[in-house]
């Protein structure tokens, strides 16, 4: 499952996408080897490895232990690999099985080590190692994040007054991570006077954070270490108190908001709010005006916001009481609330309310009315204008609203692109920062003067290794699903690649939680494109690319649309000549891993190979267990299988339950032992049952990162070892020139 994080009160959350490959059963004939149409200097392809290769050992066989999983309504299922679940992650038999799978993966990948190393060198070779973010001004300082040559972690720095002032290092994450197998600083917040920094660290990978505080004047780390938290905090206006969110130690759900006064014993921290409804998540932050500290609560279908004055924190008052199917998020500036809401507005609209409209929704008035063709994704407030993030026709755009003037739109440069609001730290400016990217354009930051129309390029992310975006072309296509719905598809390949049905294809999808898979630049896939492959994103239902209905028609009882859309896009791309029918791969992660498992059962013959990362594949068992992190928050996404109708719906597509005796694609499956979003035992059980039931000799490899969680290893270079391994497996199975 995927954590549904409430939207920030200050900045729009960037869209997250993880990539995964899908493969089919063994074709009647081997796929044609890539002859190097694009990269003639590439070494030839190595014949695809199979499980019966005499040089490979036999794959692990997990012990079968009978176990029955019962539902309250009387239905039951046998789960012979249930024993692989160990919440303590210490059971010797379980760990031995995971290690045996890792050893088998090592053996399979050994013949591909030269390719894996070549891919790693390519991936790392595109990175500007001494890179830095675009600096931004906040109050007295210019802030920036930068990397140093050869180092895994960032430095968070600032300069007072101007960028030519001496640099102050706030957090050197490289030094902080020394001696750690995993380390992450998830986020940080400055005190109002900018003399202290509160930050949240994770040294396991389970996304259970510890709050620490550093004095920026002395460099001293204060004796504050409060664990078991969500990442996010808000300071009181006088800088004496930090408000933070404490997680439930078992379910890991956000449970309580507490206040810590610096210098006091954390054991005495005051609980200022406790959430008793297990379907809600919590976040905390300051409004744009910095006048209010707000607790933001959100379930899949409803939300609530509680705020208190930052200058005199006390009662957290409700802006509008929660109500099923009513969602809103409010920000505050210049004495009013600006509210994004679905109140009588399926695609959301903007409303405004007086500052004192506590609990009085009848005082809200329309600011930007509902448009059934336009989905409003977010808004940033400025002193003289509003910047509104929107979706229309499957693409993103930014609308500018100024009093007394018609709405204006920020111009785009391509037909398939992604545009979003960037970090605009202060409201008192005419300059709007925004990001722009496409499948051929690296992430680019612009600033636009809304008064004069002047646009400045602040940074285009450097891509080394001889990359030239003119060597690639992208387009937006439309596939027709089996029910007649038109599905947007984003495609990229080398310029001049023949679209003649001979190429290998990697198709990516996600399609859950209303999370849209926008066409963003990914430097990693250049290694695939340069070997003559085509890369495509299937914008299937369950995301929000085409508005709220796109999401609603890909969840609960309509979830099967997500999976059939993906297969229909594959058929369309093959028919249109973008891929050879025996050279199609698919990739997805987390809920996208559920997608991979579903298509493997629905249409295994369509795919040669699948890459499935941290996959949510044991849907029914997980959703029947309220003690597993995130389960209760997800009932309105998947359904509650304690209801017989939802039980039957989920059972019809649950990848683990639908495995049967037939041929399956080759698969690379990855997980992290400490994953708190999709527990490691889901893919472990899936692999064990898949090995026992499948009838083909296609390879299945299962890699467990023993010191990582949902996001993989923590260092920026370490991650490329994982990607290189997955790509090497994929290229070999597709017989692509290496």
Q: Which residues are catalytic?
A: 590, 675, 710
Helix (H) or strand (E) holding 119: helix 113-125
Q: Characterize the bridge pairing of strands 365-368 and 76-78.
A: unpaired
The helix (run of H) or strand (run of E) holding residue 225 is none
Distances (CA, A) of 678 to 1, 340, 628: 5, 30, 9
Question: How many Å separate Cα 276 from the centre of its chain?
Answer: 27
Q: Which helix (H) or strand (E) holds 638?
A: helix 635-638
User: Which residues face 137 on adjacent strands?
Assistant: 142
CA angle 700, 668, 537 (to 5 degrees): 135
Burial (CB < 10 A; 0-12, 13-18, 19+), residue 282, is: buried
Question: What is the DSSP-derived secondary structure letter of residue 320?
Answer: S
Name the residue among 446, 349, 431 with its Cα closest to residue 384: 431
CA atoms of 337 and 144, how far apart (whole Å): 30
CB 129 within 8 A of CB 159: no
CA pair distance 245, 304, nearest whole angstrom: 16
Across 570-692, the runs of DSSP E, i.e. the strands, are 584-589, 609-613, 666-672
Q: What is the C-alpha separation between 512 and 220, in angstroms, rounded? A: 44
C-beta of residue 727 within 8 angstroms of C-beta of residue 720: no
Helix (H, G, I), strand (E, B) or coil at 495: coil
Q: Which long-range contacts (CB under 8 A, 24 or more apart) does 498-501 make?
A: 498/37, 499/576, 499/577, 499/578, 500/577, 501/574, 501/577, 501/578, 501/579, 501/580, 501/581
The encoded tokens of residue 285 equal 């932050």
With a CB cutoff of 8 Å and minimum separation 6, the contacts of 466 are none
């Amino acid at each position: 499952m995927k954590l549904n994080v409430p939207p920030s009160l200050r900045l729009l959350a960037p869209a997250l996408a993880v990539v995964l490959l899908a493969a089919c059963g063994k074709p009647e004939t081997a796929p044609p080897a890539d002859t190097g149409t694009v990269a003639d200097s590439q070494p030839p392809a190595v014949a695809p490895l199979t499980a019966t290769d005499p040089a490979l050992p036999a794959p692990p066989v997990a012990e079968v232990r009978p176990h029955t999983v019962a539902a309250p309504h009387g239905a039951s299922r046998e789960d012979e690999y249930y024993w692989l679940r160990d919440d303590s992650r210490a059971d010797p038999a379980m760990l031995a099985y995971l290690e045996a799978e890792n050893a088998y993966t090592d053996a399979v990948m050994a013949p591909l080590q030269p390719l894996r190393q070549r891919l790693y060198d390519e991936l790392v070779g595109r990175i500007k190692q001494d890179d830095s973010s675009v600096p931004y001004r906040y109050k007295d300082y210019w802030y920036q994040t930068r990397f140093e040559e050869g180092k895994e972690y960032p430095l968070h720095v600032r300069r007072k007054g101007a960028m030519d002032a001496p640099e102050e290092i706030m957090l050197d994450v490289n030094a902080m991570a020394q001696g750690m197998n995993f380390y992450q600083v998830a986020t940080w917040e400055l005190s109002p006077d900018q003399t202290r920094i509160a930050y949240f660290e994770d040294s396991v990978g389970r996304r259970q954070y510890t709050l620490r505080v550093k004095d920026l004047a002395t460099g001293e780390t204060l004796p504050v270490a409060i664990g078991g938290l969500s990442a996010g905090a808000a300071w009181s206006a006088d800088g004496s108190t930090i408000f933070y969110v404490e997680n439930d130690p078992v379910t890991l759900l956000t449970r309580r908001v507490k206040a810590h006064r610096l210098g006091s014993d954390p054991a005495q921290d005051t609980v200022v709010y406790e959430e008793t409804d297990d379907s809600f998540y919590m976040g905390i932050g300051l409004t744009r005006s910095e006048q209010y500290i707000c607790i933001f609560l959100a379930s899949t279908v409803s939300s609530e916001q509680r705020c208190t004055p930052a200058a005199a924190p006390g009662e957290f008052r409700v802006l509008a009481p929660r109500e099923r199917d009513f969602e809103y998020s409010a920000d505050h500036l210049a004495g009013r609330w600006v509210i994004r809401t679905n109140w009588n507005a399926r695609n959301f609209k903007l409303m405004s309310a007086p500052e004192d409209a506590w609990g009085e929704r009848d005082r809200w008035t329309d600011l930007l009315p509902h448009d059934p063709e336009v989905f409003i994704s977010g808004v940033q407030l400025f002193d003289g204008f509003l910047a509104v993030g929107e979706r229309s026709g499957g693409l993103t755009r930014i609308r500018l609203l100024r009093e007394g003037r018609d709405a204006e739109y920020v111009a785009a440069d391509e037909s398939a692109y992604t545009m979003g609001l960037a970090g605009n730290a202060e409201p008192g400016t005419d300059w709007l920062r925004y990001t722009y990217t496409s499948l051929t354009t690296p992430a680019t930051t612009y600033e636009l003067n809304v008064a004069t129309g002047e646009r400045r390029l602040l940074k285009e992310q450097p891509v080394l290794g001889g990359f030239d975006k003119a060597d690639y072309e992208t387009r937006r296509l439309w596939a027709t699903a089996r029910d007649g719905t038109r599905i947007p598809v984003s495609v990229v390949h080398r310029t001049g690649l023949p679209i003649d049905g001979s190429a290998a294809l990697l198709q990516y999808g996600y399609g859950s939680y209303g999370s849209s898979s926008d066409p963003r630049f990914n430097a990693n896939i250049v290694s695939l494109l340069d070997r003559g492959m085509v890369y495509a994103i299937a914008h299937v239902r369950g995301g929000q690319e085409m508005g709220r209905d796109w999401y609603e028609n890909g969840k609960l009882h309509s979830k099967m649309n997500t999976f059939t859309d993906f297969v229909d896009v594959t058929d369309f791309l093959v028919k249109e000549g973008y891929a050879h029918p025996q050279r199609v791969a698919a990739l997805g992660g987390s809920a996208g891993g559920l997608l991979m498992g579903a298509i493997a059962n629905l249409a295994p013959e369509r795919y040669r190979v699948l890459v499935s990362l941290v996959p949510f594949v044991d849907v029914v068992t997980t959703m029947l267990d309220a003690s597993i992190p995130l389960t209760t928050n997800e009932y309105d996404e998947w359904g509650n299988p304690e209801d017989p109708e939802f039980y039957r719906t989920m059972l019809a597509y649950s990848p683990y339950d639908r495995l049967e005796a037939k041929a399956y694609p080759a698969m690379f499956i990855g997980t992290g032992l400490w994953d708190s979003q999709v527990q490691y035992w889901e893919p472990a059980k899936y692999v064990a049952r898949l090995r026992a039931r499948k009838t083909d000799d296609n390879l299945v490899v299962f890699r467990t990162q023993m010191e990582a969680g949902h996001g993989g290893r923590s260092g920026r270079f370490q991650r490329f070892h994982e990607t290189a391994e997955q790509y090497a497996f994929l290229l070999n199975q597709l017989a692509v020139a290496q």
